[in-house]
Structure 1
Amino acid sequence: MKITEIEMNVLESPYDYGVADGDSDSRGPKYAFLLRVRTDEGIVGIADCDSHPHIMKAFIEAPSYLKAFSEGLKHAVIGENPFEYDKIWSRMYRSSYYQGRRGAALHAMSAVDIAIWDIIGKASGQPVSVMLGARRHERIKAYASTLFRNTPEAMKEAVRKYRALGFRAMKFGWGVVAEDPRRVVALVAAAREEAGDEMDIMVDGMWTPDVKLAIRLTRELGQLGVFFVEEPLHADNLEGYRKLAGAVDVRIACGEQLAGLYEYEQLLREGDVDVIQPDLSRAGGLTEARKLVTRVELAGKLLIPHAWTSDVLTAASLHLNSYQQHPVFQEFCTNDTPLSRDLVVNPLRLEPDGHLQVPSSPGLGVELNEEVVQRYTIDKLAVRA
Structure 2
Amino acid sequence: MRITDVTPFLLRGSQTYGAHAGQAEATDQGDWLLLVRVRTDEGLEGWSDVETMGPVAARVLQGSGMSALGFRTIHEQLLGRDPTDVEAIWDELYVATAYYGRRGVAMHCMSAVDNCLWSIRAQAAGAPLAHVLGGRRRDRLPAYASTLFRSTPEANAAAAQRYVDLGFTGMKFGWGGFGIDPGADRDNLLALRETLGPARALMIDPGWYVEDAGRPRVRTMAQTTTMLETLSDVTPYWVEDILHPECTEQYAVLAAEFPHLRFAAGEQQATIWELRRLVRDHGIAVVQPDLSRCGGLTVASALARDAEAAGVEIVTHSWLTDLLHSYSLHFLSTLPEARWVEFNVAQSDLSAGVVNKSLTLAADGTVEVPNGIGLGVDVDLAFVEAHAVSV
TM-score (norm 1): 0.95
What are the Cα deviations for residues 185-208 of structure 1, in whole angstroms up to 9, with x where unaligned?
221111110111121101002535
2:365 is the counterpart of 1:364: no
Aligned to 2:27: 27
Percent identical pairs in the alignment equals: 35
In 2, the alpha carbon distance for the partners of 1:344 and 1:65 equals 35
Q: Secondary structure at the match of 1:340?
A: helix
What are the Cα deviations for residues 30-62 of structure 1, in whole angstroms up to 9, with x where unaligned?
211111100000111110011111121121223
Letter in structure 2 aligned against 1:362: I
2:331 is the counterpart of 1:305: no
In 1, the alpha carbon distance for the partners of 2:66 and 2:331 equals 35
In 2, the alpha carbon distance for the partners of 1:315 and 1:55 equals 25
In 2, the alpha carbon distance for the partners of 1:122 and 1:182 equals 53
Q: Secondary structure at the match of 1:267?
A: helix
Aligned to 1:383: none
Aligned to 1:153: 154
Would you say the 8 A contact 2:49–2:321 is kept in 1? yes
Q: Evaluate the alpha carbon distance shift between residue 66 and residue 272 of structure 1 in structure 2; reply closer, same or farther with a 3 A threshold.
A: farther
What are the Cα deviations for residues 220-269 of structure 1, in whole angstroms up to 9, with x where unaligned?
32331210001222222223222112211111011111111111122224
Q: Evaluate the alpha carbon distance shift between residue 232 and residue 181 of structure 1 in structure 2; reply closer, same or farther with a 3 A threshold.
A: farther
Aligned to 2:93: 92
What are the Cα deviations for residues 281-330 of structure 1, in whole angstroms up to 9, with x where unaligned?
00001011100111111111111100111000110011111111111211
Aligned to 2:3: 3
Letter in structure 2 aligned against 1:127: P
Would you say the 8 A contact 1:62–1:72 is kept in 2? yes
Identify the match of residue 246 of structure 2 among 218, 233, 236: 236
Aligned to 1:337: 348
Structure 1 vs Structure 2 CA RMSD: 1.6
Quick check: 367-376 or 44-53, which moved more?
Answer: 367-376
Quick check: 25-34 or 176-185, which moved more?
Answer: 176-185
Quick check: 140-149 or 66-75, which moved more?
Answer: 66-75
In 1, the alpha carbon distance for the partners of 2:179 and 2:10 equals 28
TM-score (norm 2): 0.93
Quick check: 369-378 or 207-216, which moved more?
Answer: 207-216
Equivalent positions of 1:35-184 (< 5 A) are 35-177=36-178, 179-180=180-181, 183-184=184-185
Q: Evaluate the alpha carbon distance shift between residue 178 and residue 15 of structure 1 in structure 2; reply closer, same or farther with a 3 A threshold.
A: farther
Deviation for aligned residue 1:131: 0.7
In 2, the alpha carbon distance for the partners of 1:363 and 1:182 equals 49
Quick check: 192-201 or 205-214, which moved more?
Answer: 205-214
In 1, the alpha carbon distance for the partners of 2:377 and 2:2 equals 22
2:236 is the counterpart of 1:226: yes
In 1, the alpha carbon distance for the partners of 2:312 and 2:188 equals 28
In 1, the alpha carbon distance for the partners of 2:171 and 2:28 equals 16
In 2, the alpha carbon distance for the partners of 1:235 and 1:245 equals 16
Aligned to 1:214: 224
Q: How many residues align?
A: 380
Deviation for aligned residue 1:4: 0.4
Deviation for aligned residue 1:137: 1.3
Deviation for aligned residue 1:67: 4.1
Identify the match of residue 266 of structure 1 among 253, 266, 277: 277
Gaps of 5+ in 2: 209-217
Deviation for aligned residue 1:103: 2.1
What are the Cα deviations for residues 16-39 of structure 1, in whole angstroms up to 9, with x where unaligned?
111111111111112111111000
In 2, the alpha carbon distance for the partners of 1:88 and 1:165 equals 42
Quick check: 206-215 or 191-200, which moved more?
Answer: 206-215
In 2, the alpha carbon distance for the partners of 1:254 and 1:203 equals 12
What are the Cα deviations for residues 66-97 of structure 1, in whole angstroms up to 9, with x where unaligned?
44432111122111111110111111011011
What are the Cα deviations for residues 316-367 of structure 1, in whole angstroms up to 9, with x where unaligned?
0111111111112111111142122221012111011110101111111111
Aligned to 1:18: 18
Would you say the 8 A contact 2:179–2:227 is kept in 1? no
Would you say the 8 A contact 1:214–1:244 is kept in 2? no
Letter in structure 2 aligned against 1:6: V
